[in-house]
Amino acid sequence: MRIALCGALAIAGLALSLAGGALAGDPEKKDVALAVGGKPLLYYLPLTIAERKGFFKEEGLNVEINDLGGGAKSLQALMGGSVDVVTGAYDHTIRMQQKGQDIRAVAELGRFPAIVIAVRKDLAGEIKSPADFKGRKIGVTAPGSGTALTVQYVMVKSGLSPSDAVLIGVGGGASAVAAIKQRQIDVLVHLDPVIAKLESDGDITIMIDTRTEDGTRALFGGSNPAAVLYAKSDFVKRNPETTQRLVNAFVKSLNWIAKATPEEIAAVVPPEYHLGDRDLYMRAVDNSKESYSLDGITDPRGMESVLAMLKMLEPDFADARIDLAKTFDPSFVQKAWVK
């Protein structure tokens, strides 16, 4: 199905009429609370574009976006009932199934993690590989987030334990930049535009880069899905039209990003997302553009890759029986592409 969809989109030149989506009736819930952890990051660019281009409004929805600073906090908000849906890391759907909670992704936003592991430049002579992370202070967006999971995976692959370094939550924007510049951390695991800013300023040396397909394959051996739109299955069942309209908006966003130039993207996002350098932001967009989903549907091989990573890292997953088919529902994306 994924290949067929990609082929159809290529032939059509992504010229589908998405303005009307695949709407069957009024949304069950027009006011939707959405959580995200680090909205200014390019990891969540599809969300910002959907908001700024008015795609949620076009779908008849009022989406309240709650930026909670980290993916783990977004998941907590969903489980606590303070939000309806989350844009967050795909691995959260697997984690919650292992805990007996039915959380389902309904649209893929990023096909590669776009996470970069970088060392403070003045320590590059000491920290030459992940094996040197032992005892170091490592900055991540938030403990329990995708950035934390990635660096722990890298450490285990290098013969270390996930607890051999101290993981410190540094947030999603200027606070992460400051953590490196003020030498509060030794290693940073983060995303653009933070990485682009620090690299341009000469503050970091990049060690691992998953913004591209080659970099992702080098680390994971294949694809590894990143941000998705997910919700409790009960919410999806009770609000199928609302869910469809949310997915329609994100498909519009992915379609727009695929055709937009870095200049056009920089003009749409809030100016503060540029971190004081619009040209640098545009270069960051160019660096990360390959990471966004092509069709909104997660590759089953990527789902298996994430599960394998969790099994390697966490004892609770060693013998876990996970039904990956229940972690992602492609039906809403498929309907969004068909008028």
Q: How far apart are CA 137 and CA 173, in angstroms?
A: 18
Question: Is the pLDDT confidence value at 8 over 60?
Answer: no
Taking the model in full, what pTM does it have? 0.85
- Looking at residue 125, the DSSP 8-state letter turns out to be T
CB crowding 168-182: b at 16 or more within 10 Å, else e: bbbbbbeebbebbee
* Distance from the Cα of residue 142 to its chain's centroid: 13
DSSP letter at 216 equals: H
C-alpha 99/C-alpha 73 separation (Å) is: 17
Distance CA 267, CA 263 (A): 6
pLDDT digits (tens, 9 = 90+) for 128-186: 999 999 999 999 998 888 899 999 999 999 999 999 999 999 988 889 999 999 999 99
Q: CA-to-CA distance for 8 and 199, rounded, in angstroms?
A: 39
Angle among Cα 19, 23, 28 to the nearest 5 degrees reads: 120
Instruction: Give the pLDDT mean for 77-92.
Output: 96
User: Are 228 and 90 contacting, i.e. CB atoms less than 8 angstroms apart?
Assistant: yes
CA distance linking residue 315 with residue 302, whole number of Å: 21
pLDDT digits (tens, 9 = 90+) for 282-313: 999 999 999 999 999 999 999 999 999 999 88
How far is 291 from 296, CA to CA, in rounded Å?
12
Show the domains of the chain with their CATH numbers: 2-112+224-336 (3.40.190.10), 116-209 (3.40.190.10)
The token duo for 269 is 């996002």
Please give the angle made by the CA atoms of 143, 137 and 121, to the nearest 5 degrees: 120
Phi, psi for 65 (deg, rounded to 5): -95, 125
User: pLDDT tens-digit profile of 91-129?
Assistant: 999 999 999 999 999 999 999 999 999 999 999 999 999
> Residue for token digits 């700024």?
52
Residue the block writes with tokens 């690299």: 199
Rounded CA-CA distance 208/287 in Å is 14
Average pLDDT for 209-220: 92
Q: Does pLDDT of 233 surpass 80? A: yes
Q: Is the pLDDT of residue 69 over 80?
A: no
Token digits of residue 250: 């994100």
CA angle 16, 21, 24 (to 5 degrees): 140
Would you state the pLDDT for residue 151?
96
- For the record, the structure tokens of 174 come out as 């200027």
